[in-house]
Amino acid sequence: MEALTRAERHEMRTQQYQKGQSEPKKVSVDETLINSNYVKEKMGITGFGDFKDHKLSKREQCVHLLDKKDAKERYWKLHLAGKTHQAKFDLGRLAKIKVERQQAAAKRLAETEGMFSSACVWPSVLSLHSYHP
């Protein structure tokens, strides 16, 4: 390896510097490096086309609210008629509760009838209630 003089080393550095300046540097910019809190926006149906920044006019808002109100009324009419999924589920649950309550009432009635049929004598009824004069 030859020892280069100071002038030769300087010339070599300037040539490398000029070579590096002639080529544009390729800089890869990563969004996460610029802003670590960046979250990519989720695209829905409105994400396609120009609908993203579209704002409804007052008339369109009014029509939209009326449609929403009509849909809600339609749903409640169906719900009260028992035709929605939620209404069917609720009616089934209530029917099951009604049957359980009827069975419990019949059981209580049978127990009370059994208790009074066996206690036909007055003093024995008093002894059931542990009454002492």
Q: How far apart are CA 117 and CA 75, in angstroms?
A: 54
H-type alpha helices, 1-133: 6-22, 31-34, 58-81, 85-118, 122-128
Q: How far apart are CA 15 and CA 127, in angstroms?
A: 120
Question: Which pTM was predicted?
Answer: 0.38
Please state the length of the chain: 133
Q: How wide is the angle at C-alpha 55 spanned by C-alphas 46 and 35, nearest 5°?
A: 65
pLDDT per position in the chain (133 positions), as tens? 578 899 999 998 888 888 876 555 565 666 556 766 767 776 666 555 555 567 888 888 899 999 999 999 999 999 999 999 999 999 999 999 999 999 999 999 998 888 776 655 555 555 555 555 5
The predicted pLDDT at position 112 comes to 86
The predicted pLDDT at position 31 comes to 56
Q: Which long-range contacts (CB under 8 A, 24 or more apart) does 94-97 make?
A: none
